[in-house]
Amino acid sequence: GAVVSQHPSRVICKSGTSVKIECRSLDFQATTMFWYRQFPKQSLMLMATSNEGSKATYEQGVEKDKFLINHASLTLSTLTVTSAHPEDSSFYICSATLGGLNTEAFFGQGTRLTVV
């Protein structure tokens, strides 16, 4: 199946700094990528839908100025957590779809963010 790579897999940052997480589709072009947040022992929460070349669509309650999403190419989307705070500590997961008639989503391995 298609491969989605997320980097870094684990990051620790100081409160007030910004952190960028990359999501790459390695062997296919992803018109649409999704960013999720997973709290401990809770479900995936869709944060935003990212379409190549256009602004991301954020879900209700997600601060777009806090979580900056850029999808500059068909193989790369980035999520930047700006001015991180301890409450931003979480597991962030991206996924990408092949598009067209095939809407299966492929997931990155996730990024564990810890803000200290």
Partner 1 sequence: AQRVTQPEKLLSVFKGAPVELKCNYSYSGSPELFWYVQYSRQRLQLLLRHISRESIKGFTADLNKGETSFHLKKPFAQEEDSAMYYCALSTGNQFYFGTGTSLTVIP
Nearest-approach distance from CB 103 to partner 1, in angstroms: 4
Q: Supply the DSSP string of 61-113, one letter for each residue.
A: T--TTTEEEEEEETTEEEEEE-S--GGG-EEEEEEEEEETTEEEEEE---EEE
Shortest gap between Cβ of 104 and partner 1 (angstroms)? 6
CB of 26 to partner 1, least distance (A): 14
Which element (helix H / strand E) includes 43? none
- Cβ nearer to partner 1, comparing 1 with 86: 1
Among 108, 111, 113, 115, binds partner 1 (CB under 8 A): 108
Chosen residue from 75, 90, 95, 111 binding partner 1 by CB under 8 A: 95
Report the DSSP pairing between strands 76-81 and 111-115. unpaired
User: What's the sign of the alpha-carbon dihedral 93, 56, 7, 101?
Assistant: positive
Residues between 6 and 45 with contacts to partner 1, criterion CB under 8 A: 32, 34, 36, 41-44
Distance CA 66, CA 55 (A): 15
In the complex, which residues of this chain contact partner 1 (CB under 8 A)?
Answer: 1, 32, 34, 36, 41-44, 46, 49, 93, 95, 97, 103-110
